[in-house]
């Protein structure tokens, strides 16, 4: 049986705008804010088992559409005069199939949420996504703590003289 493709399609600037720290950072450096979102979503991808696609507007920029991969996440910059919303709607329309593909779209734009919902995709608000990301980070920390608890305790700090003496006993030399 074929496994259903799970895609999380993210309006990148919308997600940045929903986070106070990143929004403030984007005023100083949009590139750093984008990098932070990409990194956080790449970590989330490892536990959530989504194929993540982040879409950034290049509406005001004279450029061709650009699609790259960063940290295992697909990063899309739309072409000139195309908004992230338009790209997302086109992607959902072209990709969604009820038996083969599950698409969730992260955006807080109500009009966009209604449009993609009508096309068959799920919707997640940017605020909800930040809550999911925080929960995911907590769960990862708990899992790491549980693994560390199962590891053997650290070795005792024993002087070389005592170690040498114990080694002799172990070998039966004393």
**Whole-number pLDDT of residue 155:** 67
Q: What is the pLDDT, as a whole number, of residue 59? A: 61
Query: Which domain does 13 fall in, by range?
Result: 5-168
For residue 70, report the phi and psi dihedrals to the nearest 5 degrees. Answer: -140, 120
Residue 147 has pLDDT above 90, yes or no: no
Is the model's pLDDT at 5 over the cut of 80?
yes
Does residue 174 form part of some domain? no
User: How far apart, in whole angstroms, are the C-alpha atoms of residue 69 and residue 67?
Assistant: 7
User: What's the confidence (pLDDT) of residue 1?
Assistant: 60
What's the pLDDT score for residue 64?
Answer: 84
| 142 pLDDT above the threshold of 80 | no
Cβ(41)–Cβ(74) under 8 Å? no
Helix, coil or strand: residue 56: strand
How many domains does the structure of the chain reveal? 1
CA atoms 57, 60, 66, 72: torsion sign: negative
Binned at pLDDT 50, 70 and 90, residue 21 comes out as very high
pLDDT attached to residue 58: 78
CATH number at residue 13: 3.40.50
- In this prediction the pTM is 0.77
In a domain, 173, yes or no: no
Q: Would you say residue 126 lies in a domain?
A: yes
- Residue 13 placed within a domain: yes
Report pLDDT for 62.
Answer: 74
Q: What is the pLDDT of residues 158-174, one digit of tens each?
A: 788 888 888 888 888 76
Q: Could you read off the pLDDT of 101-113 as tens digits, one per residue?
A: 999 999 988 778 7
**How does pLDDT run across 35-81, given as a tens digit for each residue?**
999 999 998 998 888 899 999 987 667 778 889 999 999 999 998 88
| Residue 100 φ then ψ, to 5° | -110, -20
Q: Would 113 be classed as within a structural domain?
A: yes
């Amino acid at each position: 049986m074929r496994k259903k493709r799970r895609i999380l399609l993210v309006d990148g600037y919308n997600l940045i705008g929903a986070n106070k720290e990143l929004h403030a950072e984007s005023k100083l450096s949009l590139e750093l804010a984008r990098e932070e979102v990409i990194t956080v979503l790449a970590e989330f991808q490892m536990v959530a088992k989504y194929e993540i696609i982040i879409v950034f507007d290049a509406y005001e920029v004279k450029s061709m559409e650009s699609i790259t991969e960063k940290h295992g996440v697909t990063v899309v910059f739309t072409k000139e005069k195309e908004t992230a919303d338009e790209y997302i709607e086109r992607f959902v329309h072209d990709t969604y199939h009820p038996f083969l593909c599950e698409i969730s779209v992260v955006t807080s734009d109500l009009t966009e949420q209604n449009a993609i919902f009508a096309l068959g995709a799920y919707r997640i608000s940017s605020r909800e996504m930040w809550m999911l990301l925080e929960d995911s980070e907590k769960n990862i920390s708990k899992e790491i703590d549980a693994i560390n608890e199962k590891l053997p305790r650290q070795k005792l700090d024993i002087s070389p003289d005592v170690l040498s003496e114990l080694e002799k006993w172990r070998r039966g030399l004393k």
